[in-house]
Amino acid sequence: MGEKRSRSFYVLAAFFAAYVLFLYGPMIAIYILSFQGPDGGLTFPMNGVSLVWFGKVFSGSGIVDIGAAFKRSLELGLVVMVLTVVLSVSAGMAFRKSFRGATFLFYVAIASLIMPSIITSLGIALEFRLLDDFIIKSGAENWTTAMGLFTSGLGAHLTWTLPFGLLIMFAIFNRFDGRLEEAARDLGATPWQTFRHVVLPIILPSVVGIGLFGFTLSWDELARSSQAIGSVNTLPLELQGLTTTVTKPDIYALGTLTSGVSFLVIFAALVVILVLQARQRRHGSDAGKGMV
């Protein structure tokens, strides 16, 4: 690597810029279009600027009950986030020592990650259908279904978020200095104290990252939810349904809102991570460099 930037640097930088434009360009286009005037259509040019379409989304006219779907998605996302964080961190800790079935669990997690979503989704749907049949047969007359947002839907989302959480935990603990824990133990800390005062503060920024993954992946999850969510829909499912029927910019407004939530969460998480890292640096530790 010479001191001067080579020509290939500029070529690659241009390529990278083009890629970023490719990533963001279309999204920015719909954010702009969602402020389309009342007479505007689905494409450019803009016919004035207004918030009409946002109003339409909130008043719910023309669109199925978006507010409810919005709330459902939010609740599910939060539950998934908490569960992902708790389970990933404990599994991550467990994986540091070998235990029976560790390799098996690891491969199952990877398989769950790369399994085509539709198959997982179909499987969960079948599982709950059979369960329902079984319950009805065994005498429960009024039983409708065990399928729902917080049973099958939650499970479907967890098969998607947990592998991510686990992989992040692996990445953290591969760079984690085990001597810190030994030192704590030598000083007489209980295992819980060691975890609470030594391990947790060090891994906290990454744990926030896991939470971020947990929430956003659930918030936007579509393919796995499609068959497994039961009778109600989450926001992405409603959105997908709308793509084929809606001809007005309110779908863009909805898209802008949904992304708004995503960006808010991402931004909040990043700020928290930065603050935590700054605090670690201030306290003179270099252990927090193990950011993913």
Partner 1 sequence: MMLIFTLFFLLPLLFVTIVSAWDYNEYEMIPAFSMRGYTDTFEGCIAGLPDLCTILKTYLKTLKLCLLTWSLTLLIGFTVSYFLAFHVRSKTWQIVLTLLCTIPFWTSNVIRMIAWIPLLGRNGLVNKGLEGMGLIQQPVEWLLFSEFSVVLALVHLFTFFMVVPIFNSMIRIDRRLIEAAYDAGATGWQTLVNIIIPLAKPGIVIGSIFVITIVMGDFVTVGVMGGEQIASAGKIIETRLSALQFPAAAANAVILLGITILIISALTRIVDIRKEL
Does residue number 47 form part of the binding site for partner 1 (CB under 8 A)?
no
Stretch that binds partner 1, among 137-145, 176-184, 186-194, 210-218 (CB under 8 A): 210-218
Identify the burial level of 168 via C-beta atoms within 10 angstroms of its C-beta, where 0-12 means exposed, 13-18 middle and 19 or more buried.
buried
Binding mask 176-205 for partner 1 (x = CB under 8 A): ------------------------------
Stretch that binds partner 1, among 62-70, 164-172, 182-190, 200-208 (CB under 8 A): 164-172
Does residue number 159 form part of the binding site for partner 1 (CB under 8 A)?
yes
Q: Which of 79, 91, 210, 229 is in the footprint of partner 1 by CB under 8 A?
A: 91
Total interface residues for partner 1 by CB under 8 A: 86
Q: Which of 68, 74, 96, 155 is in the footprint of partner 1 by CB under 8 A?
A: 155
Stretch that binds partner 1, among 49-57, 179-187, 200-208, 261-269 (CB under 8 A): 261-269
Stretch that binds partner 1, among 50-58, 59-67, 98-106, 185-193 (CB under 8 A): 98-106
Q: Which of 21, 49, 82, 126 is in the footprint of partner 1 by CB under 8 A?
A: 126
Does residue number 146 form part of the binding site for partner 1 (CB under 8 A)?
no
Dist CA 236 CA 225 (whole Å):
9
Q: Which of 125, 202, 229, 276 is in the footprint of partner 1 by CB under 8 A?
A: 125
Shortest Å distance, C-beta 195 to partner 1: 17
Q: Which of 180, 189, 223, 232 is in the footprint of partner 1 by CB under 8 A?
A: 223
Which structure tokens are listed for 161?
């978020």
Shortest Å distance, C-beta 282 to partner 1: 18
Stretch that binds partner 1, among 47-55, 137-145, 155-163, 177-185 (CB under 8 A): 155-163
Does residue number 290 form part of the binding site for partner 1 (CB under 8 A)?
no
Dist CA 141 CA 8 (whole Å):
72
Does residue number 50 form part of the binding site for partner 1 (CB under 8 A)?
no
